Amino acid sequence: MSEEGGRPTEVVLDGESLTPAEVAAVARDGATVRVADAAREAVREARARVVAAVESGEAVYGLNTGFGHLVDTRIAPEDVEALQTNLVRSHAAGVGRRLTAAEVRGVMLTRVNALVKGYSGVREVVIDHLVTMLNEGVHPVVPAQGSLGASGDLAPLAHVAIVLLGEGQATVDGNDLSGEEALARAGLDPLRLAPKEGLALINGTQLTLALAALLVVDAERVLHAADVAGALTTEVTMSTTANCDPAVNDVRPHPGQAESAANVRRFTAGSEVIESHRNCDRVQDAYSIRCLPQVHGAVREAVGHLREAVEIELNSATDNPLVFPPGAVAGRASGGDEAAVLSAGNFHGAPLAHRLDYVAGALTDLAAVCERRVDRMLNPELQEAHLPPFLTEKSGLRSGYMIAQYTAASLLNECRSLGRPATDSTPVSGGQEDHVSMSGQSALTARTVLDDVATVVGVELACGAQAAEFLDPGLALGDGTAAAYDAVREVVPKLVEDRPLDADLRAGERLVTSGALHDAVEAAVATDTD
């Protein structure tokens, strides 16, 4: 892997070491892709095993049989190549919004990494075409909906694969082209798929996986921003950081709780605002502030649980059937000279689906606690005496940030309405595929939830910066929260007269999602205040 400024500029695929950060680098930052030499050798060996299986004449699923309910239909030798083409064409049945270019790049990258593990049996030319498409910016047009998450993300992957045939559509430099024309732009000829290749290209979890990998990267950024926003709210509401004392975490040692508590301490270090009322007579703060480490920490651990599954899945073989070298399969003669072609279920998205559903629910709770803190800054019935109603002077004549909380509440309601787990199986293919994961829908839902949560966090930041305007000007904010205030003020001016708030809220959301807030705050604080 080559890096520039801490970010990968080239990602080497070996089937063993791909990370979520590298997925983001290729998907979003244009990092180039190369296949390791050892992985190429594994691909060649797997292809030789597939050729031997075809030449043996034995019935092997997907090589010389039909698919799904048609598994018992034998395909004549002269038709085995047409079988693969027909498979890709017939399965390109997606609907809905287009995947973004970044999402498509993530799908392509993760599929290549699965293929180069050497258990799928495709030719090198197939992998080289996909790598060249990534490096030359040829992005298949892929509808987002249609996957059942078993046998993997069939429809979306078929929309990628069909471009290799010179069919379908792809985008190059922002222009929609036919598959054939798009390949020509990259100096490629359309492929004729050999036995097993169509199946290898579309059997896998790569829509789910690509979306999940990008989600992990983004969710961790949103969590950091939520800790920043919560720390700022703690200050401007004259609340205490005693709830974040290490002694509290030591007697309930959940790592996520400890990390969020440590963040609040880091961000508020040096705060004269907090010191100004350390010995006040308030006994307790509201739960949305007092329990910040517990709530944020639980969400952090949910995202970490998803990261664990993503890191495994990124370097897994999710094809079917899988082609194993001689002696690799239990129950077969060890050291024999025959390869094993096993039909199994590594394409099933359950390992990702359940965690994606869980993360969507956890992120919804993050939006809920952020929205409650927004209300505590705005609500005249809950505010501290130094804050005017809805954070505006001449309230009544002016509404200030009143409707910002409405927006946060609306987004929170959408998150809650999406919270029902998507993992509700519907049998297909004449009952042969009688339990599917719906992992693609879980990933799409989690993405929508995270986007909403990022906006809610941005609302809290905008309101927190506005509330800071009403603090004693002689009291300094913490090192990190002051940097957060400055970052907000670079894009959201102080609210005096009422104005449309949509631009303010979009700017707050961009601070969160772009990483600008993270970078500004981390540059301002020490790495360890404990």
Whether 213-311+358-427+436-524 and 2-204 are alike in CATH topology: the answer is: no
57 three-class SS: coil
Distances (CA, A) of 378 to 365, 373, 404, 416, 511: 20, 9, 9, 23, 21
C-beta of residue 127 within 8 angstroms of C-beta of residue 35: yes
Count of Cβ atoms closer than 10 Å to residue 71 Cβ: 15
Q: Give per-residue burial for 329-360: e unless 16+ CB within 10 Å, then b.
A: beeeeeeeeebbbbeeebbbbbbbbbbbbbbb
Q: Which two tokens stand for residue 276?
A: 């100004």
Q: Which alpha helices (H) appear in 165-205, and where do they start and end?
A: 179-185, 197-202
**Identified catalytic residue from 61, 287, 401, 406:** 61
d(C-alpha 31, C-alpha 7), whole Å: 9
pLDDT of residue 334: 46
pLDDT of residue 335: 46
61 is catalytic: yes
d(C-alpha 409, C-alpha 367), whole Å: 9
d(C-alpha 46, C-alpha 405), whole Å: 57
Distances (CA, A) of 382 to 8, 372, 386: 47, 11, 12
d(C-alpha 77, C-alpha 53), whole Å: 12
Beta strand 32-35 with 7-13 is parallel
H or E element in which residue 3 lies: strand 2-4
Taking alpha carbons only, the member of 14, 212, 17 closest to residue 127 is 14
Strands (E), 353-449: none
Q: Where are the domains of the chain?
A: 2-204, 213-311+358-427+436-524
For residue 401, give the DSSP letter.
T
Write the Ramachandran bin of 137: left for phi over 0, alpha for psi from -120 to 50, otherwise beta: left
pLDDT of residue 383: 85
Evaluate whether the domain defined by 2-204 bears CATH number 1.10.260.40. Answer: no
CATH of segment(s) 213-311+358-427+436-524: 1.20.200.10
| Complete DSSP assignment for 324-349 | E-TT-STTSPTT-S--EEE---TT--
Q: Which two tokens stand for residue 34?
A: 């190369």
**Amino acid letter, residue 63:** L
Enumerate residues 6+ apart whose C-beta is below 8 A from 177.
169, 170, 171, 185
| Complete DSSP assignment for 473-487 | TTSPPPHHHHHHHHH
Q: Which alpha helices (H) appear in 379-426, and where do they start and end?
A: 402-417
Give residue for tokens 């990968």. 8
**What's phi and psi for 263, nearest 5 deg?**
-60, -45
d(C-alpha 324, C-alpha 427), whole Å: 29
The stretches in the chain having pLDDT less than 70 are 1-6, 62, 66-71, 281, 283, 331-337, 419-425, 430, 432, 434, 527-530
| Complete DSSP assignment for 221-285 | HHHHHHHHHHHHHHHHTT--SGGG-HHHHHTS--HHHHHHHHHHHHHHTT-HHHHHTTT-S----
C-beta of residue 213 within 8 angstroms of C-beta of residue 310: yes
For residue 322, give the DSSP letter.
E
pTM score of the predicted model:
0.94
Instruction: Return the ∠ at Cα 123 (arms to 202 and 213), rounded to 5°.
Output: 45
Strands (E), 43-198: 95-98, 138-140, 143-145, 169-172, 175-178
- pLDDT tens string 268-277: 999 999 988 8
pLDDT of residue 423: 62
312 burial via Cβ count (<10 Å: 0-12, 13-18, 19+) = exposed
